[in-house]
């Protein structure tokens, strides 16, 4: 009997114009977890069709609202379906389906509320965690996602600290392909993320 057999786990994958990649990502995730939700964030390509062909549950935004909004849509759906644990996963092929088990283990075996994937945990370098994470139902309900775009990642970390949730980081690998490099964030985007996050905090 697997550790997740008596727990309802959903994988949520926000996607925007990821045709050519999202199908492979969804299939890999489904090889680990049956409940895979792809949120098509107003794509103009075949993202939704490819995700559906891969067997994912597909939710669609009529317009591009941003990764934070897509993540919230997917998490809300998972919770409405009775999810006990929600795993968030990128759609560009950088995250490995094999790492899902690493995220789930601390929740299932040690009672953590949130588990964050970290690229360089083994090296001792301090870097922001990846958008690869697992949250218990309680944590997902308690942490609000109000910021629609990339600043939601900082918002989630802020919520973990503010709510004093029990969390840990686990070492995970990132697959850097030519495709993911082309889609990668520029340095200027990092400043925009911080600015959006601060505006969100000031606006509360």
Q: What are the extents of the domains in the chain? A: 9-202
* CA atoms within 13 Å, Cβ hemisphere of 14: 24
CATH class as words, domain 9-202: alpha beta
**DSSP H or E stretch at residue 39:** strand 35-41
Specify whether the CB–CB gap between 101 and 134 falls below 8 A. no
Three-class secondary structure of residue 118 per DSSP: strand
Tokens 């400043």 belong to residue: 191
Environment class of residue 188 by beta-carbon count within 10 Å: exposed (0-12), middle (13-18) or buried (19+)?
exposed
pLDDT at position 73, please? 98
89, 11 contact by CB (below 8 A): yes
The confidence score (pLDDT) of residue 186 equals 43
Distance separating alpha carbons of residues 69 and 75, to the nearest angstrom? 10
List the chain pLDDT tens, one digit each, 204 residues: 355 666 899 999 999 999 999 999 999 999 999 999 999 999 999 999 999 999 999 999 999 999 999 999 999 999 999 999 999 999 999 999 999 999 999 999 999 999 999 876 554 444 445 679 999 999 999 998 887 566 778 889 999 999 999 999 999 887 766 655 566 554 444 444 333 433 444 444
- From the list 105, 108, 67, the residue with the least C-alpha distance to 88 is 67
Distance CA 87, CA 73 (A): 14
pTM of the model: 0.83
Distance between CA atoms of residues 89 and 13, nearest Å: 5
pLDDT number for residue 74: 98
């Amino acid at each position: 009997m697997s550790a997740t057999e008596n727990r309802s786990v959903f994988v949520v994958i926000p996607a925007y114009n990821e045709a050519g990649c999202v199908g492979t990502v969804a299939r890999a995730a489904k090889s680990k977890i049956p409940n895979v939700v792809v949120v098509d964030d107003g794509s103009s390509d075949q993202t939704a069709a490819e995700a559906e062909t891969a067997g994912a549950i597909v939710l669609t935004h009529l317009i591009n609202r941003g990764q934070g909004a897509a993540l919230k849509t997917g998490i809300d759906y998972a919770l409405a379906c009775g999810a006990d644990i929600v795993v968030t996963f990128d759609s560009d092929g950088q995250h490995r389906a094999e790492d899902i088990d690493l995220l789930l283990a601390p929740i299932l075996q040690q009672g953590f509320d949130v588990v964050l994937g970290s690229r360089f945990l083994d090296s001792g370098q301090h870097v922001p965690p990846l958008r690869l994470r697992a949250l218990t139902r309680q944590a997902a309900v308690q942490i609000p996602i109000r910021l629609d775009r990339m600043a939601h990642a900082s918002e989630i970390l802020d919520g973990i600290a503010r709510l004093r949730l029990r969390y840990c980081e686990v070492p995970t690998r990132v697959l850097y392909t030519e495709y993911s490099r082309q889609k990668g964030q520029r340095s200027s985007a990092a400043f925009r993320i911080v600015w959006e996050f601060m505006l969100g905090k000031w606006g509360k």
